[in-house]
Amino acid sequence: MARAAVSGRLTWRVGRLAETRAETATARTLVFDVPGWPGHLAGQHVDVRLTAEDGYSAQRSYSLAAPADGDRVELTVQLVPDGEVSSYLTEGLSLGDPVEIRGPIGGWFVWRPAETTPVVLVAGGSGIVPLMAMIRARRQAGSRTPFRLVHSVRTPADRYYAAELRRPDPGLDVTHIYTRAAPDGRPRPPGRLTVADLNSGGWPAEFMPDCFVCGPTGFVETAADILLSLGHDARRIKTERFGPSGG
């Protein structure tokens, strides 16, 4: 793995859809069998290329949703309205269908299970995907590194991996914040991420946590600004931007 990731010599491989499951009404996890897959680290992503019969092709990036597991590559794709690639991946692909996959890509936005520094994970919408790979890598390794996740979603129905994140996982705290509709009885009114959310849902800056922020561009910029205003060290704030605004 290390060799492929460091050398940058990435080749396109053909993956076939082996398994699929709905995460929300508009987000779907896709598990591909990719013979010869070199392995990856939590936080890395891949390029996916689709090619039509007339030769037209389109390529997009998708984060790896789970730690390395042989030839398996797991992605979670959010359907973007009128989105060329996300609509095909979430609605047009059948079991056994091929797509081209290239990776793993990225060596900065990664978490390794040997790390013991407390971690703050801040996600907007589908930005949870690479952070979930970190949560799963921690659990798989039996790590007790303290993790706190703050996930911003529109409504309770938009929570990804809801059942898995509800299961007890010592040392992992999960906070959902809702921008449009909150569950009944929740004192926080629906609204965008605030200083108070990261103050209560994250770790204090004095703990010097590693912070991973991922989501639509505007969300990432807001969250990173809040972390800085709370005194977090800029060198410990790692960001990954998924796209234009995300709404």
Ligand X SMILES: Cc1cc2nc3c(=O)[nH]c(=O)nc-3n(C[C@H](O)[C@H](O)[C@H](O)COP(=O)(O)OP(=O)(O)OC[C@H]3O[C@@H](n4cnc5c(N)ncnc54)[C@H](O)[C@@H]3O)c2cc1C
Interface positions with ligand X (CB under 6 A): 45, 60-63, 76-78, 80, 82-87, 126, 129, 216, 240, 242-244, 246
Residue type, 70: G
What is the smallest separation between the CB atom of 25 and ligand X, expressed in angstroms? 14
Closer CB to ligand X, 62 or 203, in the complex = 62
Whole-number Cα distances in Å, 5 to 2, 9, 92, 98: 5, 8, 30, 23
What is the smallest separation between the CB atom of 216 and ligand X, expressed in angstroms? 5
What is the smallest separation between the CB atom of 90 and ligand X, expressed in angstroms? 8
Closer CB to ligand X, 80 or 119, in the complex = 80
Closer CB to ligand X, 13 or 60, in the complex = 60
Closer CB to ligand X, 128 or 205, in the complex = 128
What is the smallest separation between the CB atom of 79 and ligand X, expressed in angstroms? 8
Query: What does the block give as tokens for 40?
Result: 């990856």
* 119 neighbors 145 (Cβ within 8 angstroms): yes
Closest CA to 43 of 24, 20, 21, 62: 62
CA distance 92 to 121: 32
